[in-house]
Chain A
């Protein structure tokens, strides 16, 4: 059967899911953190630390799922540390985020040295393409279980932020710390909890890198997905389900360059990779104005003031 351009479309779709999954988890984590009025630029370090922890635990225990859990816990510790430091007066969350990025990646490289060679058990994938005869479609529909969990988390997070008392508290703290204090809410504690949970999700995103795709542990594993999360959340307008779509979009954009090679278009590989950033910047330029702020932005966020 002739695949050609259909092949490109299928490959982009598969790539969107494969490359987009780590984006989904870090962006959900960043989204929750930012909803509480904090920004965590250190998720890059959390991601790498999660990747290392997940790989090491999976190797030693033989269970990749235990690896995922421990990766999340490692991310949670880093997130809590970040947020605890930021809860002191005059401590700048952007600067601490960058320091956490260096600290997290440094710690992961330090502890992960012995795990560069051996091969750990891999996370399973679910075959949704068994009905198809086209090998490309089959490959694209090999969905990893973490992606499906990510969808559930995105929807659940959106629902909880909107409908639960806990979600309301997080949003109040993110909108106005003063109002939250007037209501008697423990602002710092809520932010620390939100950032720790955000770190948990980012750590899971990291374990995806080492335990599913590209499925190894090395120092060049992450290509900045953690830092990009900040831009992604803006693009998604601080909405968890938006994060799902934007992650797929960015994953698809990253898969576009390699897929087009199959139909003979080889140039512009790096430009395709930059499309997400250009789009985010364009969206910000179009929607920002000196007279009003972004729609959906938590007003306590230092980057929007």
Chain B
């Protein structure tokens, strides 16, 4: 009886302690790294904090970088519920952005609200269908989804580069081939009172909605069963194939939306800047968040903050801008390594209690 309470507590405490512990270990490792590069680690951390979370301006900088990561993380996290490892977020972003831009260009006279809605829908469908290819190949042909989604990334980037240098090219974009601009009137505005565009809201809403879908609906329950044991799910009569296709579509739609936001809020055109590695960073966010859509939000903010601090770090400590990449790498390696601690930790506590 007395064990029941600490055990449930353990369950919630364990991931928290492990993540916080890993972050502290990575900060020590990174501290040693910058110290060996001749900088004072404590001052570096102070600068990073100031640059990422110190002022409202730096918060905005952080959140703008976090928004696409929330969406691209879903590309990996959702299929993760089915036991699939999909790394095709990059392709979904590229396809979503490209087709959203093309959609906007086909309707030059429509009111902005209609254009934006169409862009979002087209972008989501494009990204969704693109990622569904990987899921379908997995289900019908047993092609490994990790490899096929990786290949699809490159194919998507090639399609983007081909189309923006030929069919959809704006002749005025000389050095940087792009589509025509979608028109200033059609750009997504900022959230009133801030400099943040609406992409952040999309990201948070998408994470919360998918969390609800996966944890509080029959569909989500069925997916978790299928992810646990495909054979058992099939015997129980679950339509595993349909689950795979739907989940991959929803996951890709999140990536497509990220691409649409990149076009409609930042660049105004589709070009190779869509291929900005948000897809790959999203994979890491998903892994660190252990595929939990709600955990994705803080992890994406953390990563956004690290990336946002790059500029100030460079100016204040004369460290190269790649410093944040090293830190990011160290944090993720330590957190991924900490996966091995799950279970061992609670066992120790239980033995201590008895």
Contact between A270 and B322, CB atoms less than 8 A apart: no
B151 within 8 A of A: yes
When A and B form their complex, what is the total count of cross-chain residue pairs whose Cβ atoms lie within 8 Å? 145
C-alpha gap A253/B64 in the complex (Å): 39
Bound together, the chains give a CA A102 to CA B288 distance in angstroms of 14
B336→A280 contact, CB < 8 A? no
B266 in the interface (beta carbon within 8 A):
no
Q: Which residue of B lies closest to A227 (CB)?
A: B150
**Residues of B119-134 whose CB lies within 8 A of A:** none
Min CB distance B108 to A, Å, is: 26
Chain B proximity of A197: nearest CB distance (Å): 21
Segment among B99-107, B140-148, B215-223 that sits at the interface with chain A: B140-148
Other-chain residue from B148, B161, B321 in contact with A281 (beta carbon distance below 8 A): B148
Q: Smallest CB–CB gap between A121 and chain B, Å? A: 25
Assess the A90–B340 pair: CB atoms within 8 A.
yes
B325 contacts the other chain (Cβ, under 8 Å)?
Answer: yes
A303 surroundings in chain B (CB, below 8 A):
85, 144, 146-147
CB distance from A116 to the nearest CB of B (A): 10
**Interchain CA distance A273-B283 in the complex, whole Å:** 25
**B166 close to A (CB within 8 Å):** yes
Q: Are B150 and A92 in contact (CB under 8 A)?
A: no
Q: How far is the CA of A166 from the CA of B174 in the complex (A)?
A: 56
Question: B342 to chain A: which residues have CB within 8 Å?
Answer: 90
Scoring B85, B147, B155 by chain A CB atoms within 10 A of each residue's CB, the highest score goes to: B147
Q: Is A263 an interface residue (CB 8 A)?
A: no
CA separation between A269 and B166, bound complex, in Å?
10
Known: A88-B340, A270-B165. A102 touches B325 (CB 8 A): yes
Contact A113 B322 (CB under 8 A): yes
A121 to B274, CA, bound (A): 36
**Interface presence of A267 (CB below 8 A):** yes
Number of chain B residues whose Cβ lies closer than 8 Å to a Cβ of chain A: 47
Q: Say whether A270 contacts B146, CB under 8 Å.
A: no
Bound-complex Cα distance A98 to B87 (A): 10
A284 close to chain B: CB less than 8 A:
yes
How many angstroms between the C-alpha atoms of A94 and B165 in the bound complex?
34
B49 proximal to A (CB < 8 A): no
Is A296 among interface residues, defined by CB-CB distance under 8 A? no
Q: Does B339 contact A (CB under 8 A)?
A: yes
Report chain B residues within 8 Å CB of A184: none
B333 neighbours in A (Cβ, 8 Å): 85, 96, 99-100, 103
Contacts of B21 in A (CB 8 A): none
**A102 and B329 contact, Cβ closer than 8 Å, known pairs A230-B147, A303-B147:** yes
Q: Which of A257-300 contact B (CB under 8 A)?
A: 267-271, 273-274, 277-278, 280-281, 284-285, 288-291, 293
Residues of B within 8 A of A109 (CB): 320-322, 325
Residues of A in contact with B, size category:
35 or more
Whether A106 lies near B154 (C-beta < 8 A) is no
Contacts of A91 in B (CB 8 A): 336-337, 339-340
In the complex, are the beta carbons of A284 and B147 less than 8 A apart? Answer: yes
CB-based contact A284/B143 at 8 Å: yes
Known: A99-B332, A231-B147. A110 touches B161 (CB 8 A): no
Nearest A residue to B163, CB-CB: A270
Please tell me if the beta carbons of A284 and B340 are within 8 angstroms of each other in the complex.
no
Task: Say whether A106 contacts B147, CB under 8 Å.
Answer: no
Main SS of chain A's interface residues? helix
Contact A110/B330 with A281-B148, A284-B147 known, Cβ cut-off 8 Å: no
Q: Which of A32-88 contact B (CB under 8 A)?
A: 85, 88
Cross-chain contact B137 with A102 (CB below 8 angstroms): no
Q: Which residues of A contact B85 (CB under 8 A)?
A: 92, 94, 303
Q: Which of A267, A278, A289 contacts B166 (CB 8 A)?
A: A267
Give B288's nearest chain A residue, CB to CB: A95
Interchain CB contact under 8 A, B284 and A99: yes
Q: Are A289 and B141 in contact (CB under 8 A)?
A: yes
CB distance from A272 to the nearest CB of B (A): 9
Given contacts A274-B154, A274-B155, A304-B144, contact A102 B284 (CB under 8 A): yes
B329 touches A99 (CB 8 A): yes
Q: Say yes or no: is A228 at the interface (Cβ < 8 Å to chain B).
A: yes
**A278 to B162 CA separation, bound complex (whole angstroms):** 15
CB of A4 closer than 8 Å to a CB of B: no
Q: Is A107 an interface residue (CB 8 A)?
A: yes
Q: Complex formed: what's the CA distance from A104 to B330 in Å? A: 10
- Give complex CA distance A269, B336 in Å: 39
Assembly CA distance A91 to B342 (angstroms): 11
Known: A109-B320, A277-B151. A90 touches B339 (CB 8 A): yes
**Whole-angstrom distance between the Cβ of B205 and the nearest chain A Cβ:** 26
Cα-based distance from A38 to B144 in the complex (angstroms): 15
A99, A105, A110, A274: the one contacting B336 at CB < 8 Å is A99
- Interface status of A234 (Cβ within 8 A of chain B): yes
The distance from the CB of B352 to the nearest CB of chain A, in whole angstroms, is: 22
Given contacts A95-B283, A98-B280, whether A281 and B155 have CB atoms under 8 Å apart is yes
Whether, in the assembled complex, A224 has its beta carbon less than 8 Å from a beta carbon of chain B, the answer is yes
Assembled-state Cα–Cα distance A109/B281 (Å):
17
B272 vs chain A, min Cβ distance (A): 10
Residues on the A chain within 8 Å of B337, using CB: 85, 88, 91, 96
Interfacial chain B residues near A268, Cβ < 8 Å: 162
- Which residues of B sit under 8 angstroms from A106, Cβ to Cβ? 322-329
- 0 or 1 for each of A103-132: is its CB under 8 Å from B? (1 = yes): 111111110010000000000000000000
In the assembled complex, B287 has its CB within 8 A of some CB on chain A: yes
5 CB < 8 A contacts A-B: A95-B336, A269-B165, A278-B155, A284-B141, A284-B148
Besides A98-B283, A281-B148, 12 new A-B residue pairs in contact (Cβ under 8 A), listed by A number? A90-B339, A91-B340, A92-B336, A94-B146, A99-B336, A102-B284, A106-B323, A106-B325, A110-B323, A274-B154, A274-B159, A278-B155
A-B residue pairs, 7 tightest by C-beta: A103-B329, A106-B325, A274-B158, A109-B322, A99-B332, A88-B340, A270-B161
